[in-house]
Structure 1
Amino acid sequence: MEKHYKKILKDTEERVASRLRAQEMDEKSPCYGGFYDTNRMVQAKYTIICVEPMITLYCNPDSRYYRNPLLAWRAELGLAYIRSVQHENGLFDYVTCNFLSAPDTAFCIGFFIPLYEYLQKKQERTGEEESFLKRIGEIVHDGAYGLLEGGFHTPNHRWAIASSLAKCGVLFGDKKLADSADSYLIEGIDCNADGEFAEKSAGNYNSVNNDAMLMLSEARGDAQYEQHTIRNLYMMLTYWEPDGSIFTANSTRFDKDRLVYPLSYYIEYLAMGIKYEIPEFLGMCNTIFDIIEEKRIFSPECLIHLMLHPEYRRFEYVGRYEQPDFTRFYEDSGILRARKGNYSYTVMREKSNFLYFHNGTSKLEMKVAGSFCEHRAFKAETMEILPDGTAHLHQTMRGWYYLPFEEKPETSDWWKMDQSSRRKKLGPDMEIDVYVAPAECGIDIRVVTNGVQGAPWRVELAFSGIAYMASEHVMLPVNGSEVLVIKDRELEAYNEKDSLLIGPGFGEHRFTEGKEDSETKTPGAATVYFTDYTDFDHTIRIRNRRDLEEKLLEER
């Protein structure tokens, strides 16, 4: 992938040149040699992220920074800072939350391990490269032994620690390190049959886990671990949107609803595509670089991997992965992903924003909301796919009231009473069913409520990426702050490139904010409400205008 290599090299040089301005150069500062992040903080992890490509470029004969003495000196300052904040037990702090942290240390040394391995294998090293090898080796070595203390918070932490232990056991020839990974691996890998990891973090931690699985397979000579990566990479082929971004709304972590492109998956697709001769993976590598060119964004930070594995650079594949029309129901993960023509849609279990519709330039999120006892929005408990492809979601909201204690409580302080021991009066129950059916150039959503009469509920439609809204009685530009109840037969939400047609609208009340503790509307989105009193049964059409127009042209 020579063209990819050249772009990655160029972007790495640009990143390094840009980051150098953020290095602390005051010798009197305790942060001397460290790098400031965008929050004006200096710590080990970000400094490692900055220093690794500096040394990589110094070692790369194709780089304009090859064996640049000033760059080497600045990298040495960075290494000195990193070493100065590494605790005696080898662990690093992640100063925004974790101290003496094994998982964050695993991430830190993980950035350095490929570079250390490259320097180790380099047959002829300059004096500066020998120094880099020694200093990086000390950081990685001590960090690895710090990992023996253990401790983690999240599912992905286990695999970061285990993979680093296994790999460092090989690098430093210590069976104790390698065997210590077993205490984590005995729990079993949390990648389900769909290829989804526990945190459902398509925008970040899935890729982190994939890297850990690849490192485990390499260190242990056991391909079982990389099979999890392969399953996830197949799943991810259905997780990118018409605009090239990754669908992240299902994540349980910080990447939820963030705009993320699939850059971090590049080296994983390349490695597994070459090893297992999977054309979709190899085509995806080219598609990722098409996205990079279209969006004018930096390529992935993986230059050291192409240097460590020169076969990746030599390998060439011409084809692209063109996402076909598809419907995939990942039952274990509680998500349906579908693509047709110019749009995609997503249906999710256990999410208040249960439906997303994306046409490449704009996005619609749907929520069914109202107040019933402690409930504030519909979150499907079950999800099934009917024979015609319709996704059926259901929730039973249980109504209840406390009853007086049968005996006098020990205290009159409400907050100290054992409320769990009270008897309850049960009912009524509200039943909500939602049906999302594929239709020509769009989808139909049927919302049915039963069991409780007269509750003011609403269907919330949050639009991002649109510039205007128009209906029979409304025509206005939008800036993302709008809140409207639309009763017209059809609403068009559009921008210069495409539009969504939604309807019919209905509006029997304007109780759109809900009771206290109701979920806030989507930030920055123009919000439209269809409102009614329960029980109701409404079907809402969503059509993508561009697909309708293309269909008409084809028929002519």
Structure 2
Amino acid sequence: MHRRTFVGVGAASLGLLPLLPTFTFADPQPVAKESKPAWLLELIKLNDQHLSQSRTYRITEPGNPAFGGFIDGDDIPNPHSTTGFVRQAACSIACPESSFYRSKELLAEVGPAVQALLKMQHDDGTIDLLSTNFHSTPDTGFLVKRLVPAYTLLERSGTPGREPVLAALKTFLLRGGEALSAGGIHTPNHRWVVCAALTKLQERWPNPRYLNRIEEWLSEHIDMDADGQYNERSTLIYSPLTNRLLITIAKGLNKPELLGYVRRNLAMTLYYLHPNGEVVTEASGRQDKALVGTPEGYYYACRYMALLDKDGQMAAMCRLIEQNGLPKLVGFLDYFLEDPAFWNELPAASPLPTNYVKEFSRSGLVRIRRGNWDSTILSANPVWLTFSRGKAMLQGMRVAASFFGKGQFQTEKITREGNSWVLTQSLDGPYFQPFSKENIAEDGDWEKMPRDKRRQSEVQRLDSKVTLTETADGMEVQIALTGTDGVPVALELIFRPGGSFTGVLPHPTRDKAFLLKESAGTYAFQGDTITFGPGLAQHKNVQLRGALPAMDAPTVYLTGFTPFRHTIRLS
């Protein structure tokens, strides 16, 4: 791999701003554009609109201790909302294309906002994330990383009267640097948040303590597995965040080796896209698990690598994101204003993968895509299959049995057998014999006679096997639950809200629940249709004891009893 270094090169100005540093591309080096591209102009316009909305959350009562700060949706003043305003305002003040360019009125609001941040900052330099983290070094890092570019944009805007605001903001940032140089973290990505924030400080106000702390965290190595995924497997939130953080560190500290991790994660992410442009999130280990979301968080890294490597697939990802969700990029405007090299034209696009079978064993899933339909097979998850056709989404399949309160099916691994994938689970349900006489507690305390010391009898068993096979136009699902006979079973097909069904019957007592008795049912959404069947409805008990609660989504149930053997096809 060709090792690239990052040095300052001549760049276009931000309006009347002095030159900003840019990243170096593979030779020959392109010259940064003099004018902003259309997509960036659109983001500047959107930022103005968001800024106007944000200003309505400003605390304007002079007697309020948080005067100048900003509240959240629950009317709580907090450093994150306040930082968001400062960042938005800095972008607008710095851009000649903004209606707030060099606005003295807006600057007069930024000053009190920074003073509010100083009041919210603890003596140790940290701030609070009021929903959960207090005296939080990592949350301080999130803010510092975004406020250093805001400082730079304000400084170079030439706006009269900016000096006192900058002095106060510098105080906040340097105090934060003290916390970041010593404080601890919670999660894997927090290490890189701290390192990226210290990198931004190092670029402006060099300090050996910053570099020493960065090297201390980096010595733990980057948490990437063989699949190209970071430890948290958070495809919607923390994987794209980590890519941005590693690029920041690589650029600022001349560590191009970190970009290898970004490349690997982006290459993996190409196989985590649904046909409708959403991101596969079901294997996440964080709060974005199974959330619906799109890949705009990857845009910065994709554009960076597209330009650096002249990578056509990364360029295609950028264009896909621009086409499907350009307004969602407004939150990253400061990234693109800080470095005009991003204004250059993308290379020619190369096709993105749309026809594949990919196994990601470390993440516990298999991805299958054939043009306009795709499917995800999952282990260690009660939702073990998803299926989509265009915009129509089967968000998940689950199956459970009324087996001693623990019959929710979940497999520990996915096994490939020929052209199929097999998921299994074995459960037992014992009864327990009297405690041995010599060990009976004299006071009759049940807790002193634990069940693991009792002899088992009448042991019941439930063996579950799901076999998944690709067909010409979808997936075939064979389900077998055997062992103890007569156990009620319910199979769930959980669909995305908003569509319409045919061939199913509304459940007589449960909202958003349907039974499939016919040979086939359909689910249609925005012109796309999923067909599923044949049906089976031997009883109406769709909320079995020991099963997970029904999801808040339209769900079709197939029901029966063990021995339960049924094959359903999705197309």
Alignment of structure 1 residues 44-83 onto 2, 5 Å: 44-83=79-118
Check if 1:97 corresponds to 2:132: yes
**Alpha-carbon contact 1:147-1:161 (below 8 Å) kept:** yes
1:396 match: secondary structure:
strand
Cα deviation, residue 102, structure 1: 0.9
Shift of 1:429: 3.7
Distance in 2 separating the partners of 1:40 and 1:151:
29
Aligned to 1:314: 344
SS in structure 2 opposite 1:160? helix
Task: Name 1:538's counterpart in structure 2.
Answer: 566
Query: Relative to structure 2, which stretch is displaced further, 108-117 or 360-369?
Result: 108-117
Residues 412 and 97 from structure 1, CA distance in 2 versus in 1: closer, same or farther, beyond 3 angstroms?
farther
Secondary structure, counterpart of 1:201 in structure 2: coil
What whole-Å deviation, never above 9, does each CA across 1:288-341 have from its counterpart, x for those lacking one?
A: 010026xxx443322222222111113344537555222211111001122213
Q: Are 2:501 and 1:469 aligned?
A: yes
Check the 8 A contact 2:180/2:198 in 1, yes or no: yes
2:371 to 318, 330, 341: 341
Which position in structure 1 is the counterpart of 2:3? none
Residue 243 of structure 1 and its aligned partner are, at CA, apart by: 2.2
For residues 513 and 322 of structure 1, what CA distance do their matches in structure 2 show? 41
| Aligned match for 1:380, one of 394, 411, 425 | 411
Structure 1 regions of 5+ residues with no counterpart?
544-556
Q: Between the two structures, name the one with larger relative contact order (CA 8 Å, sep ≥ 6).
A: 2
Measured in 1, the distance between the counterparts of 2:55 and 2:442 equals: 66
| 1:156 pairs with 2:185 | no
Deviation of 1:385 (Å): 2.9
Residues 1-20 of structure 1, C-alpha deviations (whole Å, 9 max, x = no match): 71221121111111111211
Structure 2 equivalent of residue 441 of structure 1: 473
Work out whether residues 373 and 400 of structure 1, in 8 Å CA contact, stay in contact via their aligned partners in 2.
no
Corresponding position: 1:369 with 2:400:
yes
The verdict on how the C-alpha distance between 1:476 and 1:452 changes in structure 2, with shifts beyond 3 A counting, is closer
Single out whichever of 434-443 and 369-378 deviates more from structure 2. 369-378
Q: Secondary structure at the match of 1:333?
A: coil
State the alpha-carbon separation in 1 of the partners of residues 128 and 449 from structure 2.
41
Correspondence for 2:361: 331
For 1:242-391, list aligned pairs within 5 A: 242-292=275-325, 297-317=327-347, 319=349, 322-364=352-394, 365-388=396-419, 390-391=420-421
Please state how far the C-alpha of 1:439 moved relative to its aligned partner. Answer: 1.0
446, 454, 458: which one pairs with 2:486? 454
Distance 2:444 2:140 in 1: 50
Aligned to 1:551: none
- Conserved? CA contact 1:444–1:541, under 8 Å: yes
Shift of 1:413: 4.2
Deviations along 1:125-173, one digit per CA (max 9) or x if unpaired, are 4444444433322222111211234233222222222332344345432
| Alpha-carbon shift at residue 510 of structure 1 (Å) | 2.3
CA distance in 2, matches of 1:249, 1:133: 44
Q: Can you list the C-alpha shifts for 1:237-270, whole angstroms capped at 9, x where unaligned?
A: 2222222222222223222333322122111111
Q: Larger deviation: 391-400 or 103-112?
A: 391-400
Q: Given the two structures, how large is their TM-score scaled by the length of structure 1?
A: 0.88
Identity %, equivalent residues: 24
Equivalent in 51, 57, 64 of residue 29 of structure 1:
64
8 Å CA contact 1:362, 1:466 repeated in 2: no
Q: Relative to structure 2, which stretch is displaced further, 99-108 or 131-140?
A: 131-140
Q: Partner residue of 1:220? A: 253
Go from structure 1 to structure 2 and tell me whether the alpha carbon gap of 1:440 and 1:164 turns closer, same or farther (over 3 Å shift): same
| Residues 1:401 and 1:275: Cα distance change in structure 2 (over 3 Å) | farther
Counterpart CA distance in 2 for 1:411 and 1:325 is 68
Determine the C-alpha separation between the residues in 2 that align with 1:224 and 1:453.
59
Ranges in structure 2 where 5+ consecutive residues have no aligned partner:
1-35
- How far the C-alpha of 1:217 sits from its partner, in A, is 2.0
SS at 1:447 equivalent: strand
Work out the CA distance in 1 between the residues paired with 2:198 and 2:266: 24
Give the superposition deviation at 1:343. 1.7
Cα gap change, 1:466/1:83 in structure 2, threshold over 3 Å: closer, same or farther?
A: closer
Change (3 A) 1:336 1:131: farther
SS at match of 2:475: strand
- 2:330 match: secondary structure: coil
Alignment of 1:85-234 (within 5 A): 85-117=120-152, 122=156, 125-234=158-267
- Kept in 2, the 8 Å contact 1:362–1:465? The answer is no
SS of equivalent residue, structure 2 residue 464:
strand
Aligned with 2:181: secondary structure?
helix
Could you tell me how far apart the structure 1 residues matched to 2:366 and 2:165 are? 48
Report the CA distance between 1:40 and its aligned residue: 2.5
Whether the aligned pair in 2 keeps the contact of 1:93 and 1:101 (CA below 8 Å) is yes
| Cα distance change, pair 453–139 in 1 and its aligned pair in 2 (3 A) | same
The whole-number CA distance in structure 2 between the counterparts of 1:239 and 1:97 is: 30
Call closer, same or farther: CA 1:398–1:119 in 2, change over 3 Å.
farther
1:490 aligns with 2:520: yes
The aligned amino acid for 1:38 is G
Letter in 1 for 2:544: G
Q: Secondary structure at the match of 1:218?
A: helix
Q: How much has 1:530 moved relative to structure 2?
A: 1.1
CA shift for structure 1 position 496: 5.0
- Alignment RMSD: 2.6
Task: For residue 300 of structure 1, give the secondary structure of its aligned residue in structure 2.
Answer: helix
Residues 184-220 of structure 1: CA deviation (Å, up to 9, x unaligned): 3333322212122222221211122222222232343
Compared CA separation, residues 417 and 233, structure 1 to 2 (3 A)? farther
User: Which residue is equivalent to 2:551?
Assistant: 522
Deviation at 1:438, TM superposition (A): 1.1
Residues 90-99 or 452-461, more deviating: 452-461
- The alpha-carbon distance between structure 1 residues 28 and 420, as it changes in their structure 2 partners (threshold 3 A), is farther
| 1:309–1:375 CA distance, 2 compared to 1 (3 A) | same
Distance 1:150 1:404 in 2: 55
Structure 1 equivalent of residue 12 of structure 2: none
- The residue that corresponds to 1:392 in the other structure is 422
CA distance in 2, matches of 1:161, 1:29: 32
Query: 2:521, 2:533 within 8 Å by CA — same for their partners in 1?
Result: yes
Q: Secondary structure at the match of 2:73?
A: coil
Matched AA of 2:418 = P
Contact 2:530 2:570 in 1 (8 A): yes
1:84 corresponds, among 92, 116, 119, to 119
Judge conservation of contact 1:469–1:475 (CA < 8 Å) in 2.
no
Q: Which amino acid aligns with 2:48?
A: E
Local SS of the residue matching 1:511 = coil
Q: Could you tell me which of 412, 422, 435 is aligned with 2:453? A: 422
